[in-house]
Amino acid sequence: MKTVLSILFIFMFLLSPQELKEETIYIQFNSHSNKVYSYETSNGKYAKEMIYRKEKKGNGNYHFYIGKELFSFNSKKNIIDTCSVEKLKHISFTPIKKAKKKVDKTNGLYPYKVFNKVFLVEKINDSVIVKYDVKWEYYIE
Amino acid sequence: MKQKFKNYLKLGFFTLVLSLISVNCVKDQDIFIENETSFKTIDVVGQIVKGDSIRQTNKNLDLFLRLRFEARNRFSSEDITSNIYGFTVLTDRIFQLNGENYTNYIFNITRNNSTIAGFENYMLTIFNDGSYMQVLIYYPFINNDNQLEADINGATVTYINDESLLTNVESSPCNNASEEIIAWEEECVAVNCGDKGDHSPGEACDNGDYVAYWNCTGAWVVTGCIHTGNGSSSSGSNTNDPFPPTGNGGNSTNPSDPNTPDETVPTIPFIPAPEEIENCLNNNLNTTNLLSNEDRTWLNDRSNSAQVNLINDYLQNNGCNDETMTVANEIIGECQNDGEFDDEEILKAVNFKGTKADCVYKKLKNSSNGFKAMIKKFEESFPVAHLKFETDPTMSSNSKKAYTNPPENYIIDIVINGNAIKDASYQKRPNLLVAKTIIHEVIHAEMFRKLLSLAQVNGEIDVPNIQNMLQQGDYPGMLDYYVRHGNSINSNWQHAQMAAHYRTTIARALQEFDTGMPVPDNVVPQQIYLDLSWEGLNHSIIPAWQDLTTPEEKARIDQAIDDYINAYPNQNCTE
């Protein structure tokens, strides 16, 4: 139950829901957030972890985590798009909860096949945002 | 390096096969034939010829060799020494391997400090565009009934660069030549017991410590040029060619040669490996082009020829189809990142090879028949899926030991936490629990493999189809857990099934890994291994964990795992 609550907690910090009318979705990646969620490590023991985690890999690749969800960015296949923060006004973000629901219903093992494109949008500072064309990946520990 | 040499061998064998199936017109020439090898089912004879015999017959070849190998020879009229690498090329025997775009010349060499551990060949490859490549091939000896034989499968190749061995590099002497008749040939010399006695190989020496033995060396032996097409070769047409093909032991088609056959010589043209691979991966009508420009550049880089040939062999042996194409494409990508297949077709990323995790994997495979059986399902010639191991040195989680991705392009990826500062990393964890993690993830891979075998599209699990099949009861074992855990393909049903049905398997493999002793199927593993097998499955949402008798028992198991981790921190693994 705690895990479920933790995941629900994540979505409180996302923007208001939008309908998944298009195949391309934008998900906010709030790298400045200090919010954490908790998850069970073993036998009722819980650990806390930052909701938004960004891992730099080799060759300019990144792994982004939002809670337990993994989004990978491959610099060989995609480029990073840097925009003015003004662009935020024109982006309709999809709550990850809603996107996840569609993934679970449609193709839980291959989330990247559910949407045509998934963009993570990271606000770098007050004037710049960065848009990553990412692959949403399923994994099991 | 071993892999690289295998490709040379495979290239040789490939050449041999082409020759055997296509050529039946080798003619006797006016050269001294040392030996003949008849191939069983095909009317072809392989010949070893003496270098001076070829040269007497073919003055152009003689000139060619003098230009390349003898002009700077300070020690004898025949041989030339590389001062950089400290060996002398022996030119009394010439081994020649021809391709459409290249010619290999293979020579025996000697060194002042030669040992009886093995012997070496020097191979010069001259490409048609005038460039060249030099390699040293080292063959270790293996003892076979007191006969030291070259272990051609254990040979290694070293690229060298010594221009002093060449005075000129021109176009291929066998211009337009196709493949050659080749065979591995050995010369054996009886080695006596030092200066004393006259002992036959195998006979004990007087001091009783040693026996006389055979010392065998050899090389790939090729005779002359064999031409493709309509029998009219390029010979004589290229006045700049210092070595136009003549009657030098093969079926040359030089018009001046009275023995030139008039009829067509049916041979299969040699297609370079990069071209073969590209033909498969980019010209298949059913798929989009798989190769990027970077991939093509890598394929055509001659320094990668060994790996490229291996990939081509894989496609040749298994056919060009969706599965082999995707696997080959994956390998090409991995090779560019310095990854490679190991001998059992398990893909290991470069960040996995040679690590403690790799060491544990190897030991686990050697010690546990159960684990070996699991892995074998991914190793067969036509497995449903391939397994790939990698580590992630920047994984941020302090609790995630590893994870497994569902199959993509027939490859199931297992990623192990390789962030050395994290408690969950393989570096910090005890070897036994790294082994547990690997087993745990391989079981996930096996479950994915089963799903893939039921329904797949382009190497991925066909999820809608699987859901239908499971709900129709086509796979009752999985169905049970699937339905009971939310009817969702990515629910926790895999862990639930693993906790209920695989823990003893895990514990048995762990005990075998730890003790080196097999644990029969009818023997319950020791308690500590059963306890450790719970790691990763001891969660409140796992029914088997919920069903454990008492909270005290759960706490005991948890404590046993923690105690073990604390007892063996940062453990090293040695093979």
Backbone phi, psi, residue B481, to 5°: -75, -35
Q: What residues of chain A, 73 to 102, have a C-beta less than 8 Å from chain B? A: none
pTM value is 0.56
pLDDT tens figures, B157-205: 777 777 666 532 222 333 333 333 333 455 666 777 665 667 777 777 7
- Polymer length in residues for chain A: 141
**Is B540 close to A44, i.e. CB distance below 8 A?**
yes
H helices present in B255-410, as ranges: 273-282, 293-300, 305-318, 322-336, 356-367, 369-376
Q: Which two tokens stand for residue B434?
A: 């790294």
Q: What residues of chain A, 50 to 69, have a C-beta less than 8 Å from chain B? A: 53, 55-57, 65
Q: Which two tokens stand for residue B196?
A: 């004393």
CB-closest option in B400, B495, B558 to A42: B558
H helices present in B472-525, as ranges: 476-484, 493-501, 503-515
CA distance B376 to chain A (A): 22
Per the listing, tokens 């919920």 go with B546
Mutate to test the interface with A, among B400, B448, B494 (most CBs of A within 10 A): B400
Does the model's ipTM exceed the 0.90 cut?
no
Beta strands of B512-570 (E only): which ranges? Answer: none
Other Cβ atoms closer than 10 A to B381: 7
Task: Give all strands of the β-sheet with B411-417 in edge-to-edge order.
Answer: B340-341, B347-348, B386-392, B411-417, B402-404
CA distance A124 to chain B (A): 20
Other Cβ atoms closer than 10 A to A79: 12
Residue B67 DSSP class? I
Which is nearest to B14 in space by CA: B287, B268, B321?
B268
**Cα-based torsion angle of the residue sequence B21, B25, B29, B34 in order, rounded to the nearest 10 degrees:** 30
- Whether residue B418 contacts residue B354, with contact meaning beta carbons closer than 8 Å, is answered with no
Which residues, in sequence order, are bridge partners of residue B456? B461
Backbone phi, psi, residue B495, to 5°: -65, -35
- Beta strand B132-144 with B147-150: parallel, antiparallel or unpaired? antiparallel
Q: What is the rounded distance in angstroms from the CA atom of residue B58 to the CA atom of residue B78?
A: 17
Q: What is the rounded distance in angstroms from the CA atom of residue B373 to the CA atom of residue B449?
A: 14
Q: CB distance from A23 to chain B under 8 Å?
A: no
- Whether residue A137 contacts residue A112, with contact meaning beta carbons closer than 8 Å, is answered with yes
Q: Which two tokens stand for residue B385?
A: 């899926």
Mutate to test the interface with A, among B419, B436, B538 (most CBs of A within 10 A): B538
- Whether residue B95 contacts residue B107, with contact meaning beta carbons closer than 8 Å, is answered with yes
- Whether residue A51 contacts residue A35, with contact meaning beta carbons closer than 8 Å, is answered with yes
Q: What residues of chain B, 487 to 546, have a C-beta less than 8 Å from chain A? A: 488-490, 494-495, 535-536, 538-541, 545
* Residue B18 CA to its chain's centroid (Å): 21
**Is A140 close to B444, i.e. CB distance below 8 A?**
yes
- Whether residue B82 contacts residue B165, with contact meaning beta carbons closer than 8 Å, is answered with yes
Mutate to test the interface with B, among A3, A4, A139 (most CBs of B within 10 A): A139
H helices present in B455-475, as ranges: 463-471
Backbone phi, psi, residue A56, to 5°: -85, 125
Which residues, in sequence order, are bridge partners of residue B416? B391, B402
Q: Which two tokens stand for residue A5?
A: 């609550």
- Whether residue B433 contacts residue B564, with contact meaning beta carbons closer than 8 Å, is answered with yes
- What single string gives the DSSP state of each residue in B158-211? EEE--GGG-S---S-TTTTB----EEEEEEEEEE-STTS--PPTTPBPTTSS-B
CB-closest option in A55, A108, A110 to B395: A55
Which is nearest to B496 in space by CA: B450, B453, B447, B461?
B447
Q: What is the rounded distance in angstroms from the CA atom of residue B353 to the CA atom of residue B322?
A: 27
In order along its 575 residues, chain B shows pLDDT tens digits of 334 333 333 333 333 332 322 222 222 233 343 443 332 222 222 333 444 554 555 555 555 555 554 433 333 334 566 667 778 777 666 666 666 666 667 777 877 665 557 778 887 777 766 666 777 888 777 777 666 677 766 677 777 777 666 532 222 333 333 333 333 455 666 777 665 667 777 777 776 666 677 666 555 433 333 333 333 333 333 333 323 333 222 323 333 333 333 332 222 234 667 888 888 887 665 555 678 788 888 887 766 766 777 787 778 777 787 778 877 887 887 777 655 455 456 888 888 988 999 999 999 999 999 999 899 888 765 578 889 999 999 999 999 999 999 999 888 999 999 999 999 999 999 999 999 999 999 999 999 998 888 888 888 999 888 878 777 776 667 767 776 776 677 678 899 989 999 999 999 999 999 999 999 989 999 999 999 999 999 998 888 898 887 889 999 999 999 999 999 999 999 97
B444: chain A residues, CB-CB within 8 Å? 140
CB-closest option in A41, A55, A57 to B399: A41
**Is A43 close to B463, i.e. CB distance below 8 A?**
no
Q: Which two tokens stand for residue B150?
A: 């070259």
* Residue B474 CA to its chain's centroid (Å): 39
